[in-house]
Amino acid sequence: MHSVHIEGFRSRADIEFRPGPGVTVLLGANGAGKSNILHFFEM
Protein backbone atom coordinates (compact mmCIF):
# COMPACT_ATOMS: atom_id res chain seq x y z
CA MET A 1 0.00 0.00 0.00
CA HIS A 2 1.46 3.33 -1.07
CA SER A 3 -1.22 5.76 0.07
CA VAL A 4 -4.81 6.00 1.26
CA HIS A 5 -7.15 8.91 0.59
CA ILE A 6 -10.28 8.98 2.79
CA GLU A 7 -13.09 11.47 2.14
CA GLY A 8 -16.09 12.14 4.39
CA PHE A 9 -15.33 9.51 7.03
CA ARG A 10 -16.45 10.32 10.57
CA SER A 11 -15.40 13.79 11.76
CA ARG A 12 -12.75 14.36 9.08
CA ALA A 13 -13.68 15.66 5.65
CA ASP A 14 -10.40 14.61 4.01
CA ILE A 15 -7.46 12.44 5.15
CA GLU A 16 -4.33 11.59 3.13
CA PHE A 17 -2.32 8.76 4.68
CA ARG A 18 1.02 7.52 3.32
CA PRO A 19 2.53 4.71 5.41
CA GLY A 20 6.29 4.42 5.36
CA PRO A 21 8.41 1.28 5.15
CA GLY A 22 8.55 -0.78 8.34
CA VAL A 23 6.63 0.49 11.35
CA THR A 24 4.28 3.44 10.90
CA VAL A 25 3.45 5.60 13.93
CA LEU A 26 0.50 8.01 13.94
CA LEU A 27 1.26 11.25 15.78
CA GLY A 28 -0.82 14.39 15.99
CA ALA A 29 -2.79 16.76 18.16
CA ASN A 30 -6.21 15.91 19.59
CA GLY A 31 -8.78 15.98 16.80
CA ALA A 32 -6.18 15.45 14.05
CA GLY A 33 -7.81 12.21 12.83
CA LYS A 34 -5.49 9.51 14.22
CA SER A 35 -8.32 7.38 15.60
CA ASN A 36 -10.35 7.89 12.42
CA ILE A 37 -7.58 6.26 10.37
CA LEU A 38 -7.55 3.27 12.73
CA HIS A 39 -11.36 2.97 12.69
CA PHE A 40 -11.35 3.11 8.88
CA PHE A 41 -9.07 0.06 8.68
CA GLU A 42 -11.25 -1.85 11.18
CA MET A 43 -14.16 -1.76 8.71
Least confident range from 10-14, 15-19, 26-30: namely: 10-14
Distance CA 33, CA 31 (A): 6
pLDDT of residue 12: 67
Which domain covers residue 22, as residue numbers? 4-42
Interval 3-28 mean pLDDT: 82
Task: Flag whether the pTM goes above 0.95.
Answer: no
Determine contact, residues 13/40, Cβ cutoff 8 Å.
Answer: no
- Total domain count, the chain: 1
